[in-house]
Structure 1
Amino acid sequence: MRTQKKRLADVGYRLFSGSMMVLTLYAGYLCVVRAQRYMERQKQLQLAAEEQKNPED
């Protein structure tokens, strides 16, 4: 009986640890995507500001 409870606890711990790893990886992915979008937006804003400064008409 004791080993059965221990096995169940081990399985529960592994499932919990695995889910935390997946969540950590997903959060890292979201962070990278957000950083890329921020950098792209900053680049677009800088180009728009330069175009307003130096109109090529």
Structure 2
Amino acid sequence: MRVYKSFKEIDNDLAIRKLERDIALEKVKLNVTKTKDELNPIKLVSGFKGILIKYLIRYIVKKFV
């Protein structure tokens, strides 16, 4: 536990903690936004479409070759 010698030290420490909290909150907001973008149905379908095409090509090649 830190021992403070003046109220100014306390105020400075509180200001630092508030800024750290604000930064952490902004990081959370950014991560939520990125997650929402990645879970966008269009992106999910396009990712699934690529996998599906890859396996269809393999199936067709094996079937006819």
Greater RCO structure (CA 8 Å; 6+ sep):
2
Matches within 5 A, 1:32-47: 32-36=36-40, 37-38=43-44, 40-41=45-46, 42=48, 45=49
Query: Which 4+ runs in 1 deviate beyond 6 A?
Result: none
- RMSD value, Cα: 2.1
Shift in Å at residue 11 of structure 1? 0.2
- Please give the TM-score of this superposition, normalised by the length of structure 1: 0.67
| More helix, by proportion | 1
Identity of aligned residues (%): 2
Rg larger in structure? 2
Q: Which amino acid aligns with 1:27?
A: N
1:30 aligns with 2:34: yes
Number of residue pairs the alignment of both structures matches: 45
